[in-house]
Amino acid sequence: MSVKIIHPGLLTSIQDFGRNGYAKYGIPKSGVMDSYAAKIANLLVGNKQEDAVMEITMLGPILEFDKDALLFLVALKANVFLNDKNIELLKPFKVKSGDRLQIKQITSGVRLYLAISGGFQSELKLSSRSMYASVTNSSIIKKGDVIKTETYTGIKKLTNAQLKYDMEFYVTKTLEVYPGPEFEELSIDLKTKLLENTFHVSKNNSRMAYQLEETLENNLKPILTQPVLPGTVQFTPAGNIIILMRDAQTTGGYPRIFQLTKESINLLSQKRQGDKIEFTLKDY
């Protein structure tokens, strides 16, 4: 079966859990921004947790189905309609041939995950279906695209129905971080400010990185280009704090002061411009 893109939405893409082992070639890991939400969506539609899902950002697409399918939507809050009838989140539902699903707007959080029985079977590049411009044909889906999926047999049992999506997880503003390689080079004053101040997400946020509004005076010496990862927190000479996300480059020349935990990357991926965050330090 297949899904036709009637309208693509804002920044809609197909993502799985990313590409491993290609950083030495300068290829980002990519993958779902919120791995927790994507995993829940997959498991509750009967898929493997790493199957490809549709990642929808802020304003969603209109999709048309050519055969029956089982779907599951995970988001904090969103307006979703199937043939003009409101659809509840966090409950599996079926679509039939000719049905149209419209995800109008995400009203709380930033990203919604749509899982379909069998997973989206988009192009497989370097062992992943995650869309990224220099690896796949496009970084986002486009009007008229047709995405293949497995045929729904109607007999798959939802063996993980006891799983629940913990929405309270996203209420906190606290990001847990480990000390980065250059953390100990910070002055005591800077460490105190980083760990005791409240920061705000700036308008400069994307799948590549989140930048914070506030700046701090930076007296660290420049470093040679070094490996970075999703969740690496960089401190620029101008005092900007940049948190790398799933599509981040694989190397960077700014001091690496923190490394977010996996859970904190998920949490940050649902934060909007103006949302507050604080850093709390964990020991290795």
Nearest residue to 270 (alpha-carbon basis) of 54, 109, 38, 39:
109
Residue 146's identity, in one-letter code, is V
pLDDT at 153 over 90: no
Helix or strand (DSSP H, E) at 188: helix 188-196
- pTM of structure: 0.94
Task: Output DSSP code: residue 266.
Answer: H
pLDDT tens for residues 85-130?
A: 999 999 999 999 999 999 999 999 999 999 999 999 999 999 999 9
Fold of 172-281: Cyclophilin (2.40.100)
Residues of the chain with CATH 2.40.100.10: 172-281
Residues 84, 19: Cα–Cα separation, whole Å: 37
Answer for the pair 6, 64: CB distance below 8 angstroms, yes or no: yes
pLDDT tens for residues 210-263?
A: 999 999 999 888 889 999 999 999 999 999 999 999 999 999 999 999 999 999
Identify the pLDDT of residue 93. 94
Identify the pLDDT of residue 158. 53
